[in-house]
Structure 1
Amino acid sequence: MDNKRIISIGFVILFFVSGINVIAAQGKSSGKRPNFILILTDDQGYGDLSINGNPTIKTPNIDRLALEGQKWTNFYVAANVCTPSRAGLITGRLPIRSGMQGTKQARVLFPKSKGGLPESEVTIAELLKQKGYHTAMIGKWHLGSLPQYLPLNNGFDYYYGLPYSNDMDKVDSVPYLKAITEPRNEYFQVPLYRNKDIIEKPANQNTLTQRYTAEAVRYITDHKKEPFFIYFAHSMPHVPLFPNPRFAGKSARGIYGDIIEEIDWSVGEILKALKQNAIDDNTYIVFISDNGPWKLFRELGGSTGPLYGAKGNSYEGGVRVPAIIWSKKNVFAGQVTEIGSSLDILPTFAKLAGVDLPADRVYDGYDLSSVLSGSSNKSPRDEMYYYHADTLVAVRKGVYKLLLYGNSEVGYPDALKKLDKPVLYNLNEDISERYDISDKHPRTVQQLIALLEQHSKTITRVEDQLLK
């Protein structure tokens, strides 16, 4: 028997035994439902973690999550900008199914928007409450700022955060570019909420990450004896960047690096709180970004690493994000190169918590729990549909991605343009989307066009919430 065969058999045995150990650990903790902490950063790029190769940003705590858990390298969000991405995350459904997809006239919700996440949508929090979970939303919401759309009316018991992006509610007297590049708190009249009450306006953005973290740690401590779900959505590194004085000037990457390294500190505080309260054995942490970096703002935006594109477009850099799933004993550690999506988080949490999904709607997410446990090394997801607002612009199936529309590499707010002919990429061999191979694979092109047509038939248009 040759050495390669021996190594292959050894790996299979190791994977099998390790998977059994993880499943056994899950069984030991099955007396209490697992806790879930979903950490979402804002406009963080694929290349903005040291575990993903960034040479100047130091993220030891996030790296620890990746080394002890699973780092997913082909993980996608539901949309390339804030509002629709968050709608897909929290409902497990493509935003076009809920009316949260937007149009070219309105890509995201604004402070004066009349719409928001429809009452008919079922959120992760609402599902988990069926099994007695305590639920908290900490950070940026951006799914509607009128009272009926805020977190307390969407399954959350507690809310502490901003209702929309930190660059909104800008004062008229200061030009937008100046407010972003030379930010002051008084330039933005963004309110900070605790539950239904505004407790600070304008919010002191320099201490937001620190205060969000304190709220999350307190919630963990207060609810350590009961199952809980914390949706922890950081307001940054979305511009304007407001570094905490404790971190300002510390990163070699400049202000952007200061922000990411404070977020990394926050992750470390969460891990400490779980250990101190003896619940790290039974808690899952998911760490992702809502979309790619806002490259329009140059060094104030992030890096996509080897990926082409940015926030606001459907190249890989706009929608493929850093993704880590951690649990001290319930996740089979390693790098996962299978396809996953933020759409999959709701059905995965539901499965792990023993919650049945409603049968009256289409879900676009898949249950990834078998991959997390190590009982399978194959993701149930083999395809991803790319929407730019209400336009279906691309599809990925296996290693192939077919792109029908394009825009500039820097992304938002650049206009969308239909390509003269579809382009095809093999993303395993061409992660940067440089080499069109459509002429070499005409059959694959036709198969992917048929897949797009088939998917489109499952979409029933509903009222657009972002144009209200």
Structure 2
Amino acid sequence: MKTKQSLLKLLLCLVLVIISCKPSNKKDNTKSTAKKDKKPNIVIVFLDDSGFADFSPFAKSDVPTPNVQKLANEGTIFTNFHVPQAICSASRSALLTGCYPGRTKVFGAHGPNARGLETTFPTMGEVFKEAGYKTAIFGKWHCGDQPETRPHARGFDESCGLMYSNDMWKHHPEAPEYWGQFPIKFWKNGEVIIEDVGFDEQKNLTKWYTEHAVDFINRNNKNPFLLYVPHSMPHVPIFTSKAFEGKSGKGVYGDVIMELDWSVGQITKALKKNGLEENTIVIFTSDNGPWIAYGNHAGKTPFREAKATSFEGGTRSACIIKYPKKLKANNKSDKLFVSIDLLPTLCSLTEVHLPKRDIDGKNVWGLISGKPEAKNPHEYYAFSTGKHFESVMSGDGKWKLHLDHNYRTLVEPGNDGAAGKYKNLEMPLSLFNMEQDAYETTNVIEENPEISNILETFAKAHKLKFYND
């Protein structure tokens, strides 16, 4: 009896072994599930001093920009995107932290060896790296030039580029002796690899940033990543690689725009090649409006004034966002939002935790994605120039109030790399209906005292909170 039981047990074991070894007809979905569950990648292309009208999706242009146009065709164009301050360091710090310049105290454009953004304010790199993202910046940093404030110490696994603007060198058109004290260096992953950037290196900046970006995508196609490409161009002095010299037939600035368009194409092609296109959020914009003092070496904007003012020509930047999974293609939006909103919006989309400290931006995905019921969560947005708080705009984008402030306006543009001349003017307390007058031409404060009072109340509260020291 015991022998029979033993034989039965042995036969049962053999059957189980055979069944377990038999090939399954079920498909192995491990790979597809992993791909499906992978968090979205993020690519931010952040130009320097690009004009709102530099690229064909936003204006008719004599310079062909097919790659940016393709990005627009596949994504959504935003015509009412702003930065809170139209100057380099302040704009970049706002993007990376989700905070107003008044909170971080990063104003204007910082020079060599500057402290920059304090480490108490987490950057986008730190936020996403902590969440398991691979992170990289290839381009102009301009948020601090000390060991603990450079990009490799602020959450970016990989980096290359300049620590500040490319005009802060010995060939500066107005102050070469001063800037000549600080050789402009090219960094890579926390180490200086070019001690003194010259003309040849300037010509290759766009190319180098792009090559590093493509290589990073190729090597990280299995990992979620944040890729930040803040180009040095078209900030003066402007240069292109040999492949683009004279290519536009419209001068050096046209050549620069064509190379930047090429860069966008290389990055988007790398995403597609690696099968990442559907699961990547691509954002294309500029840190502020054009530096019109440089004439034919500057971009164009249809709006009032330009860089380093709180008028629309300074703070309003062309913007395209592509996210095939969740965003309409070939779409256009005039909804208002500001660069401080990008960090919280991206964190929401990727289910990444926001920094523990207070930030000023809010999740505006409802506006970006075009939900009919979506409303801007901000009562107002604030704009400044340097340390001067100058204007507020209602969250719905309809009204803009300029406080009393001085501003610069161009008198005579420069030519071929030489700076032009400005003069200072005074801006009185003024209210503009932005839906009817986006060019800020007609002060309607007397006809709308209630609106003016509401915005003045917001302005007083903002000033008390951030500018009371």
TM-score of the superposition, structure 2-length normalised? 0.84
Structure 1 residues 297-339: Cα deviation after superposition (integer angstroms, max 9, x where no partner):
11111101x2011111111000100111112333123111110
Deviation, structure 1 residue 202:
2.9
Aligned equivalent of 2:298: 301
Q: Does the CA-based 8 Å contact 1:294-1:410 persist in structure 2?
A: no
- Aligned to 1:232, the other structure's residue is in SS state strand
Q: Does the CA-based 8 Å contact 1:340-1:379 persist in structure 2?
A: no
In structure 2, what residue type is equivalent to 1:401? K
Q: Does the CA-based 8 Å contact 1:32-1:227 persist in structure 2?
A: yes
Structure 1 residues 412-450: Cα deviation after superposition (integer angstroms, max 9, x where no partner):
99687653x411111121121111111211221111111
Cα distance in 2, alignment partners of residues 83 and 354 from structure 1:
28
Structure 1 unaligned blocks of 5 or more:
1-26, 102-106, 180-185, 463-468
Instruction: Please say if 1:324 is aligned against 2:320.
Output: yes
Aligned equivalent of 2:366: 370
CA gap 1:157/1:392 in 2 versus in 1, 3 angstroms? same
Aligned equivalent of 2:335: 338
Instruction: Please say if 1:137 is aligned against 2:134.
Output: no
- Aligned to 1:246, the other structure's residue is in SS state helix
Aligned equivalent of 1:94: 100
Q: Does the CA-based 8 Å contact 1:111-1:169 persist in structure 2?
A: no
Cα distance in 2, alignment partners of residues 176 and 35 from structure 1:
40
Instruction: Please say if 1:34 is aligned against 2:34.
Output: no
Q: Does the CA-based 8 Å contact 2:335-2:368 persist in structure 1?
A: no
- Aligned to 1:40, the other structure's residue is in SS state strand
Aligned equivalent of 1:17: none
In structure 2, what residue type is equivalent to 1:392? F
CA gap 1:197/1:461 in 2 versus in 1, 3 angstroms? farther
Instruction: Please say if 1:429 is aligned against 2:429.
Output: no
- Aligned to 1:345, the other structure's residue is in SS state helix
Q: Does the CA-based 8 Å contact 2:51-2:290 persist in structure 1?
A: yes
When Rg is computed on C-alpha atoms for both structures, the one with the higher figure is 2
Deviation, structure 1 residue 124:
0.8
Cα distance in 2, alignment partners of residues 460 and 294 from structure 1:
27
Cα distance in 2, alignment partners of residues 364 and 252 from structure 1:
44
In structure 2, what residue type is equivalent to 1:308? R
In structure 2, what residue type is equivalent to 1:48? D
- Map 1:25-174 onto structure 2 (within 5 A): 31-101=37-107, 107-113=108-114, 115-170=115-170
Alignment: residue pair count: 418
RMSD (Å) for aligned C-alpha atoms: 2.4
Cα distance in 2, alignment partners of residues 450 and 41 from structure 1:
34
- Aligned to 2:299, the other structure's residue is in SS state coil
- Map 1:171-190 onto structure 2 (within 5 A): 176-177=173-174, 189-190=183-184
Structure 2 unaligned blocks of 5 or more:
1-32, 412-419
Cα distance in 1, alignment partners of residues 82 and 216 from structure 2:
29
CA gap 1:80/1:241 in 2 versus in 1, 3 angstroms? same
- Aligned to 1:449, the other structure's residue is in SS state helix
Deviation, structure 1 residue 372:
4.0
| 34-43 vs 402-411, which moves further | 402-411
Deviation, structure 1 residue 377:
6.0
Deviation, structure 1 residue 61:
0.9
Q: Does the CA-based 8 Å contact 2:409-2:425 persist in structure 1?
A: no
TM-score of the superposition, structure 1-length normalised? 0.84
- Map 1:407-422 onto structure 2 (within 5 A): 407-410=407-410, 419=427, 421-422=428-429
Aligned equivalent of 1:402: 401
Deviation, structure 1 residue 356:
2.2
Deviation, structure 1 residue 231:
0.8
Cα distance in 2, alignment partners of residues 372 and 199 from structure 1:
40
